[in-house]
Structure 1
Amino acid sequence: MRHHRRILALLAVQQVLVEITVALTIIVQVINHIKGRTLSERRVSRRQYHLNSRLPAQIRNLHRLVLVSDETCLRNLRMDRNAFGRLCCLLEQSGGIKATKNISVAEQVAMFLSIIAHHKKNCVVKHDFIRYGRTVSKHFHSVLLAVCKLHTVLLAKPCPITNVKTLGGRFKVCLDYPENIRVFRCVRWYLCRSAHSDHEKGRYRTRKGQVAVNVLGVCNPNMQFIYVLSGWEGSAADSRVLRDAIHQHGGLRVPVGNYYLCDNGYANAEGFLTPYRGVRYHLREWDRGAGGPQNKQELFNLKHSSARNVIERTFGLLKVRWGILRSQSFYPIDIQSKIIIACCLLHNFIRNEMPDDPLELEIPDDNELGGDTNADYTGTIESNSASSAWRDALATSMYNDWLGRR
């Protein structure tokens, strides 16, 4: 009898343990279910915050930059709303820029223009546009490549100038205006910070000890670029850069019977007309009661400088428009060269789309990039007696006409 009671007690205890185990299992499952649902809701909430909660703010920011007024768009992106819309269409149709699920073509282009217009850093742009830094960098480079891809569309086509009033009608077959200058003086390149940069830094150091890149630019009287070559070291001679431009496939071409006006960094040769050496040349040298030309060489240089002043104004306007060209840069040299070319191409686009360019009023009056009138020159484009004689005859004819009108 006692043994039977013991067995019943053990069975009762076993039943209680089974019930407790089942209850605990149910409790654990309920807890796990609640935790899983909470985590899922949290993930959904986080995803909604990133994709949905931020989207209205991003759209509002883009509208603030572009759609408020032409003045606001011009101040922030360097072009009015109509030009901005046309640029977006051009880059989408011909440049290969595509809208993604979360960012439109307009926002990609606006980020790029904001960076080159004001030289903003990635950390500033990602805050302004409420985007991740890697998103800003990705779309900056994609738009940069798209703009450079349109060089055949955006570069102005060279055409002969049949009459240049500032030259008294004498330079009648001038094709356009070239200039080779070190546009980016005191630029701090990414190359100069690398472990093996000492040798490379020397190659980009100018005679004044500044690290720079050479840019060969050719423009027309409408201040539009028809040719740009960027990337040569600051230590390279002007004539060496010009030689490379001429010998490149699809490079700078001078049709027979036409010529470019250029400074004394080059030789006075067929296709390239330079001023006289040792004679006052720059326009500022004729100010403040300096007196008029005293001989044919001075008159020739005065007319030459007046006509070539357009390249100085073009580069001056380029730097006023794009802040990234006015300050130090830490981009790699190949990227910086593309940025320079992209700035020139977008400059041309703006000149076409906005005939009245308000930024022209901001060009400094003393902006005279000029050239070294005593610079040495070497290269395959060599001076010859025929070119010098032709220049002398042109100068004599101009001087006689000028004396006859006095």
Structure 2
Amino acid sequence: MDNSDEESQNSSENSFNEMVTAAIGAGFAFVHMLHVPPQGNHVIQVPELTGRQWVDKLLLDAGRCYDNRRMRPENLVRLHSILCDSYGLTGSRELESIEALAMFLWVCGTNQCQRQMHERFGRGLGTCSKIFAHVLYAMTRFANDVIRPKDTSYSVVPPALVEYTPFFDGCIGAMDGTHIEVIVDKGVRDNHINRKGKPTQNMVAVHDFDMRFTYVGAGTEGSAHDMRVKRKAEVDASFPHPPSGRYYLVDSGYALRPGYLTPYPNKRYWVKEFQTRGPADA
């Protein structure tokens, strides 16, 4: 064997030895990165709760139920009964109606998306979409019946205002707007950008002095002024217009009009000062 053949063989052996050494080193590092526990200290994996099991578990814990569904267990069960009896909420062989309602409340109450709904409850994306639409339809029918004034004539002074009589005897509630963040198509996104640079809907709500909502109007772009939202609400057939001699309290974002009382301009109102002086001296 000449020198060139011998050198070639030595080079091949060195390359092979280097490859073996690298493989052993990589294997050693891989094993140690895994942190394999020694024998006798095995970690027991607790199986994850199914969606229905999670629903039942939280119904037994008032605090967690409220945190995840924004509703106490007894109220959730009562709402479920009402929706099933009068508003068309139903279940199926694969999914009971109580789980469908809990899924809907979890998504709305904690700002989840349908992919998270699919991940948490183990349902297909198409199924999640159908469940949400089904419960939403029942909830919308329910809302149309309960979000309205109890007494459309407003003939009785609210108990909360009795101590201020006769100054606020004509007041029937308060109206204000708020912005709700939304995700919309790129083509209409600019119309929804509010003054803070976020895509929103500018919605308006009316409530009485029992802290009950009597009207909620949504769907207007976030760039719209409060007065435009108000005018849009006023043409809604379900809007509770104040009768003659009655009015809503509104903020300075609205114009002073019959039926709508705004604050005095350039006047600062301090609760402490009002309580000290009393309404008769204000």
Verify same fold: TM over 0.5.
Answer: yes
User: Helix, strand or coil for the counterpart of 2:218?
Assistant: strand
What CA RMSD, in Å, does the superposition of the two structures yield over aligned residues? 2.7
Shift of 1:133: 2.3
Find out whether 1:191 has 2:179 as its counterpart. Answer: no
Deviation string, structure 1 residues 213-259 (Cα, Å, up to 9, x no partner)? 11010011222210011011122222222122222223231111111
Deviation string, structure 1 residues 162-221 (Cα, Å, up to 9, x no partner)? 151574651111111111x2322xx352223xxxx1xx2332222343322110100112
| Structure 2: gaps of 5 or more residues | 1-48
Deviation string, structure 1 residues 274-328 (Cα, Å, up to 9, x no partner)? 11111214x5xx67xxxx47xxxxx9xx99xxxxxxxxxxxxxxxxxxxxxxxxx
Q: Is the 8 A contact 2:203 2:219 kept in 1?
A: yes
Map residues 110-189 of structure 1 onto 2, 5 A cutoff: 110-159=102-151, 160=154, 162=157, 164=161, 167=164, 169-179=166-176, 181-184=177-180, 187-189=181-183
Task: Name the structure 2 match of 1:243.
Answer: 231
Find out whether 1:83 has 2:105 as its counterpart. Answer: no
User: Helix, strand or coil for the counterpart of 1:270?
Assistant: coil
User: For 1:62 and 1:188, how far apart are their aligned partners in 2?
Assistant: 28
Q: Is the 8 A contact 1:158 1:220 kept in 2?
A: no
Q: Is the 8 A contact 2:179 2:222 kept in 1?
A: no
Larger RCO, structure (CA 8 Å, separation 6 or more) = 1
Deviation string, structure 1 residues 80-128 (Cα, Å, up to 9, x no partner)? 2221111111111222121111111001001111111112233332232
User: Helix, strand or coil for the counterpart of 1:226?
Assistant: strand
| Structure 1: gaps of 5 or more residues | 1-55, 294-298, 304-397
Q: Is the 8 A contact 1:205 1:235 kept in 2?
A: yes
Q: Is the 8 A contact 1:260 1:271 kept in 2?
A: yes
Residue identity in the other structure for 1:175: I
Question: Cα gap change, 1:167/1:129 in structure 2, threshold over 3 Å: closer, same or farther?
Answer: same
Residue identity in the other structure for 2:168: F
Residue identity in the other structure for 1:237: H
What's the TM-score once normalised by structure 2's chain length? 0.72
- Percentage of matched positions with identical amino acids: 27
Question: Of Structure 1 and Structure 2, which has the larger fraction of its residues in helix?
Answer: 1
Task: Name the structure 1 match of 2:262.
Answer: 274
Residue identity in the other structure for 2:114: N
Map residues 1-400 of structure 1 onto 2, 5 A cutoff: 57-66=50-59, 68-159=60-151, 160=154, 162=157, 164=161, 167=164, 169-179=166-176, 181-184=177-180, 187-192=181-186, 197=187, 200-281=188-269, 283=270, 292=273
What's the TM-score once normalised by structure 1's chain length? 0.51
For these two proteins, the number of residue pairs brought into alignment is 229
User: For 1:95 and 1:122, how far apart are their aligned partners in 2?
Assistant: 23
User: Helix, strand or coil for the counterpart of 1:210?
Assistant: coil
Structure possessing the higher radius of gyration over alpha carbons: 1
